[in-house]
Amino acid sequence: MNTGCIAYADDIILLSASLINLQKMLNICCVQGSTLDIQFNVDKSFLFAVGKSCSEILPALTISDVAVAWTDSLKYLGVKFVSDKRLNVDISLVMRKFYAATNSIFSHGKYTSSLPNCVCWSPSYFLY
């Protein structure tokens, strides 16, 4: 049995290989949250499956007796994860932002034409 938790600031990801253990983890979070005067927002919480069961209809899990929605993709700390047989990470948005920022720097730079071996990208090439 593998279970885990990834936390950063006020964002939490609970990881579990079974739905039963995941529901137990959600229950523990609710109990501990209530003792610390923390309420979990069900509207901002999602369930996400990876592996064989990613395309199946899975039973509802709850936070404080309110069902949490299943989703096929989620965004955590700016990174988009996509449900599939294996965990997929979609970095296209991050790459577009990187190219846009790079183009902005190069297009407003005073001496960009004198930079050796410098290639400037046009953001229009990377819009999907």
Asked if residues 90 and 61 have their Cβ atoms less than 8 Å apart, the reply is: no
Alpha carbon separation from 114 to 80, 110, 119 (Å, rounded): 37, 9, 11
**The pLDDT value given to residue 124:** 47
**The pLDDT value given to residue 113:** 59
What three-state secondary structure class fits 11? strand
Q: What is the pLDDT of residues 27-67, one digit of tens each?
A: 999 999 999 998 888 998 888 888 887 777 888 999 999 99
| Higher-scoring residue by pLDDT: 72, 78 | 72
DSSP bridge partners of 12: 7
**The pLDDT value given to residue 32:** 92
pTM exceeding 0.85: no
Cβ within 8 Å of residue 22, ≥6 positions away: 14, 16, 47, 61
Residue whose tokens read 């709850």: 62
